[in-house]
């Protein structure tokens, strides 16, 4: 499936910002199930945009604005081919994976050990362990248990637009049993880590269909978030061992929940992969507008 994504972010400042430093994660990754055909990004005020690869192998852009400005516009456009990877199953129990990642001072750490420890938005906590345990029964395969937990979250938690923001703790969203995709991804990652399992946060996009008979509205989509858990038994598979889990839509799949998903970046939580963030000197009040369009190329 070939998808086009346009992601536009506009800030307006009052009074003007004097100088600023910004970093973005807006370029999709090449993965076993997606290939970036085209990507460009435009910044206003004009700036010299630099690019590099971060610690999680994500594409990252950064730039400085050294003159006073009353606003910032960042437009990113991507064209991506998505596909499915071969089906596979993993019978390895979740306890054996936990033991593989258990810290031992005399043994080198696994390459993905960093995803076992709690982070700011996805901490290790007894409440996450308690919620997850009914899916992680003794001897059950990690693959089956993670899929069942994803399904149960979809059933138990209510998606409610604007019910939370980035400062809402995942623990509060779990207790309230409501939130948005970002909250659900953080809860799922926290549940898996509280069991001693490696899990990461994934940012990206999902193709959404308009209601029957209604046109696709430009700018009406949103960025999306989900989680993934590492299955060592599938390390040599094209998915590279990662099973993606989307509790918002009850979708799971190797390397991606489906061909209608596009991955932007992965990290420990949202803080590692924020689409756009910066440090500002000056300014005061600001307004933010974000418009995202995800569409098939032939639409």
Q: Tell me which of 173 and 215 has the higher pLDDT.
A: 173
Give Cα separations from 115 to 10, 31, 102, 207 (angstroms): 32, 19, 12, 28
Determine phi and psi for 210, rounding to 5 degrees: -70, 160
* 217 has pLDDT over 60: no
State the pTM of this model.
0.94
Cβ count near 47 (within 10 Å): 17
Q: What is the pLDDT of residues 102-120, one digit of tens each?
A: 987 777 888 999 999 999 9
**Which residues are CB-neighbours of 49 under 8 A, at least 6 positions away?**
41, 43, 61, 62, 63
* 159 has pLDDT over 80: yes
Q: What is the pLDDT of residues 42-100, one digit of tens each?
A: 999 999 999 999 999 999 999 999 999 999 999 999 999 999 999 999 999 999 999 99
Q: Which residues of 178-215 are buried (b: 16+ CB within 10 A; e: fewer)?
A: bbbbbbbbbbbbbbbbbbbbbbbbbbbbbbeeeeeeee
* 12 has pLDDT over 60: yes
Mean pLDDT of the chain: 93
Average pLDDT for residues 188-199, to the nearest whole number?
98
């Amino acid at each position: 499936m070939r998808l086009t994504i346009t992601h536009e972010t506009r800030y307006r400042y009052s009074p003007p910002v004097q100088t600023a430093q910004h970093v973005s994660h807006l370029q999709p990754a090449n993965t076993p199930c997606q290939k970036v055909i085209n990507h460009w990004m435009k910044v206003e005020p004009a700036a010299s945009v630099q690019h590099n690869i971060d610690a999680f192998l994500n594409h990252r852009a950064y730039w400085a604005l050294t003159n006073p400005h009353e606003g910032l516009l960042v437009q990113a456009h991507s064209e991506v081919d998505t596909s499915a990877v071969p089906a596979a199953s993993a019978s390895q129990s979740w306890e054996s994976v936990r033991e593989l990642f258990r810290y031992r001072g005399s043994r080198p750490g696994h390459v993905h050990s960093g995803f076992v420890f709690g982070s700011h938005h996805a901490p290790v906590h007894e409440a996450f362990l308690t919620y997850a345990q009914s899916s992680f029964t003794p001897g059950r395969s990690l693959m089956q248990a993670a899929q069942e937990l994803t399904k149960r979250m979809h059933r138990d938690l209510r998606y409610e637009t604007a019910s939370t923001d980035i400062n809402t703790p995942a623990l509060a969203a779990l207790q309230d049993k409501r939130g948005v995709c970002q909250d659900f991804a953080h809860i799922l990652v926290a549940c898996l880590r509280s069991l001693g399992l490696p899990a990461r946060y994934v940012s990206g996009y999902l193709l959404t269909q308009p209601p029957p008979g209604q046109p696709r509205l430009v700018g009406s989509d949103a960025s999306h978030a989900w989680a993934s858990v590492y299955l060592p038994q599938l390390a040599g598979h094209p998915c590279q061992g990662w099973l993606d889990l989307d509790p918002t839509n009850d979708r799971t799949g190797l390397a991606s929940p489906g061909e209608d998903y596009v991955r932007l970046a992965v990290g420990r939580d949202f803080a590692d992969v924020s689409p756009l963030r910066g440090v500002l000197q000056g300014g005061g009040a600001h307004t933010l507008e974000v418009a995202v369009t995800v569409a098939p190329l032939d639409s």
